[in-house]
Amino acid sequence: MLLSIRSLTKEFPGTKALDSVDFDLRAGEIHALLGENGAGKSTLIKCLTGAYQRDAGTVTLEGREIAPRSTVEAQDLGIGTVYQEVNLLPNLTVAQNLLFGHEPRRMGLIDSRAMRLRARAMLAEYGLDLNVDRDLATCSVAIQQIIAIARAVSLSGKVLILDEPTASLDAREIEMVFGVVRNLRDRGLGIVFVSHFLDQVFDLTDRLTVLRNGRHIVTEETATLDRVRLIEHMLGRSLQDEVLHSRPPDRGPRPELLRFTGFGRKGRIEPFDLDIGAGEVVGLAGLLGSGRTESAEAIFGLQPAQTGEARDRSGVLDLSSPRKAIAAGFGFAPEDRKTDGIVADLSIRENIILALQARRGWARPIARAEQARIAVDYIRRLDIRTSGPEKRIGELSGGNQQKVVLARWLAMNPRFLILDEPTRGIDVGAHAEILHLIHQLVEQGMSLLVISSELDELMAVSNRIIVLRDRRHIAALAGDEVSGPTIMRAIAGVDAPVEKGAVEKGCVEDAPVEAAPVGTAPVEDAPVKDMPVEDVPVEKGGE
């Protein structure tokens, strides 16, 4: 075993990011690390690369225990990392990037000629021949990614961690990078591949490990695991509370509150149609990057829609900015509570009145006594555990922070509230409380759009569930159709009717990457149809 991790634990204030995780990496394998946001993938990687220090557990590399304290130290030990974005310096040349910190020198000064030669030799190993004196910024992202890999391998040479390396590449570039990665595997490196593109995982990796909520769920051979099982592992069935397994009472059709038609934004979410009934909870299900959050952000005006319109009974709504969405009676509790949801240095009171004050305008401050009254009222109603309304919100646990975020929006008395991952990073007890709260809000007639990676949670609160894949709304499930297996099958895209339906709607270009070369090449146009079949993929690839 090349790299072996046992009982790795890492805690942050309020959350256990990794809870006794085991992980093994063999020399000469590509091992996928999978999980939703907050599952612990990036924490695990950061513990390996020295960005974080573990709280407990062991990491052994070639039988020797290691505890790197910086990326450089991890590199020297043999662990190299390539991240999705920040890898290299675009303002330096290709050669400078490749050899940064290891430039050949003559009499103390950098020997440009030797540097050029060595950089060229390094790239030649990867079948690249390019001018190493050009700025890195002038290279395509795929080339940059390969350069980053070349640098990481030359510095470390035992373990290569690829953290979402393909997120901004097109299909042809992905193949190029994958070719390099396979080649490295054959040379005996152990490669950890983190991605949320399942097609790529099945295409490239030998084994895979799934993490969820900071725990190790399963490690299996990729070839023997089917897609539905994998998604089941990733989205999990982790809730024990009985209440959470019940479905919300079906109260029949409701009066329509909002209607979105052809709502979409290029590059983020394909146009979708969506109705929201009064007092209805609509759940959005899908994997990370499937367009769940993107849908919510378009609706709330954070990334305003470029096509389509939104209406309520009184007419068309202007949702071009969050301010206007708030004016329309919308609220949005975002996914990343720490950076987008709370202002950590402000008190609970200040966090609660934030949106209310913003709507009134800063020229008309809410009286201090009134602020305190609102804060105390919500602390009591939502059972926020705190010593008082003046406590810094950053000192609260995750669950209580989330309640404060909810209180902020409830104070506005919105008619439509969007909750993006409302229970992320929250312990089990608070989890159930938040779900109870959602039930209560619905009783009072509020409409909600809930996004969650936990299917049980989604099923427990939603009257209807919309399934997303590849930035499209691909299925709507209601009533008896809502069940774990149906949702997972829809997400996995194994249901033939769903797949066909999507293709027929004319969304072929966005078909999953692995399918692009042959299976779903567009054949509507007569000229393409007349071509010999084997020319089609070539034509596609050459674009």
Partner 1 sequence: MNTRTLPLYVTIAIFLVGYLICWLQYPNILSTRVVGNLLTDNAYLGIVAVGMTLVILSGGIDLSVGSVIAFSGVFIAVMLRDSGLHPLLVFALLLALTTAFGAAMGWLVYWLAMPAFIVTLAGMFLARGAAYLLSVDSVPIQHDFYRMLQGAYWLMPGRGRLTLIGVLMLAVVAAGIVIAHKTRFGTSVFALGGGEATARLMGVRQGRTTVLVYAFSGLTAGLSGIVFSIYTGSGYSLGTVGTELTAIACVVIGGTLLSGGAGYMFGTLVGVLTMGLIQTYIVFDGSLSSWWTKIVIGILILAFILLQKGLVRLSQARLNAGEP
Q: How far apart are CA 196 and CA 295, in angstroms?
A: 18
* CA angle at 208 for the pair 517 and 10, rounded to the nearest 5°: 130
Nearer Cβ to partner 1 (145/213) = 145
**Binding of partner 1 by 137 (CB under 8 A):** yes
Could you give the C-alpha distances from 162 to 112, 141, 150, 195, 220, in angstroms and in order? 30, 15, 12, 8, 19
**From 69, 105, 237, 266, residue interacting with partner 1 (rule: CB under 8 A):** 105
**From 1, 72, 121, 523, residue interacting with partner 1 (rule: CB under 8 A):** 72
Task: Please answer whether residues 472 and 510 qualify as being in contact, where contact means their C-beta atoms are separated by less than 8 angstroms.
Answer: yes
Nearer Cβ to partner 1 (133/383) = 133
**Binding of partner 1 by 92 (CB under 8 A):** yes
Tokens of 435: 């779900």
Nearer Cβ to partner 1 (72/243) = 72
Rounded least distance, CB 90 to partner 1, Å: 7
Written as one string, the DSSP assignment of 399-417 is HHHHHHHHHHHHTT--SEE
Among the residue ranges 88-96, 280-288, 358-366, 470-478, the one whose residues contact partner 1 (CB under 8 A): 88-96
Chain residues 318-357 in contact with partner 1, contact rule CB under 8 A: none
**Binding of partner 1 by 75 (CB under 8 A):** yes
Could you give the C-alpha distances from 379 to 351, 358, 407, 410, 467, in angstroms and in order? 12, 21, 8, 12, 35
**Binding of partner 1 by 125 (CB under 8 A):** no
**From 4, 7, 60, 71, residue interacting with partner 1 (rule: CB under 8 A):** 71
Rounded least distance, CB 464 to partner 1, Å: 40
Among the residue ranges 137-145, 224-232, 329-337, 464-472, the one whose residues contact partner 1 (CB under 8 A): 137-145
**Binding of partner 1 by 43 (CB under 8 A):** no
Among 542, 503, 543, which residue's Cα sits nearest to residue 519?
A: 503
Question: Number of residues in contact with partner 1, rule: CB under 8 A?
Answer: 29
55: CB partners within 8 A, 6+ apart: 9, 10, 11
Q: How far apart are CA 432 and CA 420, in angstroms?
A: 16
Nearer Cβ to partner 1 (108/255) = 108
Nearer Cβ to partner 1 (80/190) = 80
Nearer Cβ to partner 1 (87/453) = 87
**From 56, 67, 110, 243, residue interacting with partner 1 (rule: CB under 8 A):** 110
Among the residue ranges 34-42, 79-87, 367-375, 416-424, the one whose residues contact partner 1 (CB under 8 A): 79-87
**From 63, 65, 86, 497, residue interacting with partner 1 (rule: CB under 8 A):** 86
Q: How far apart are CA 508 and CA 523, in angstroms?
A: 10
Rounded least distance, CB 136 to partner 1, Å: 9
Which residue is listed with tokens 């062991």? 58
SS3 152: helix
**Binding of partner 1 by 140 (CB under 8 A):** yes
Nearer Cβ to partner 1 (530/543) = 543
β-strand partners of 190: 29, 159
Phi, psi of 326 (to 5 degrees): -65, -40
**Binding of partner 1 by 133 (CB under 8 A):** yes
Rounded least distance, CB 325 to partner 1, Å: 31
Nearer Cβ to partner 1 (97/290) = 97
The one-character DSSP state at 222 is G
Task: Please answer whether residues 355 and 375 qualify as being in contact, where contact means their C-beta atoms are separated by less than 8 angstroms.
Answer: no
Q: How far apart are CA 115 and CA 97, in angstroms?
A: 11
* CA angle at 128 for the pair 127 and 130, rounded to the nearest 5°: 155
- Give the chain's end-to-end CA distance (angstroms, integer): 42
Rounded least distance, CB 109 to partner 1, Å: 4
Among 480, 490, 450, which residue's Cα sits nearest to residue 287?
A: 490
**Binding of partner 1 by 53 (CB under 8 A):** no
**From 22, 56, 90, 124, residue interacting with partner 1 (rule: CB under 8 A):** 90
Q: Which helix (H) or strand (E) holds 79?
A: strand 79-82
**From 45, 143, 430, 435, residue interacting with partner 1 (rule: CB under 8 A):** 143
**From 2, 25, 33, 88, residue interacting with partner 1 (rule: CB under 8 A):** 88
Q: How far apart are CA 190 and CA 73, in angstroms?
A: 18
Binding site for partner 1 (CB under 8 A): 71-72, 75, 83, 86-92, 96-97, 100-101, 103, 105, 108-110, 130, 133-135, 137-140, 143
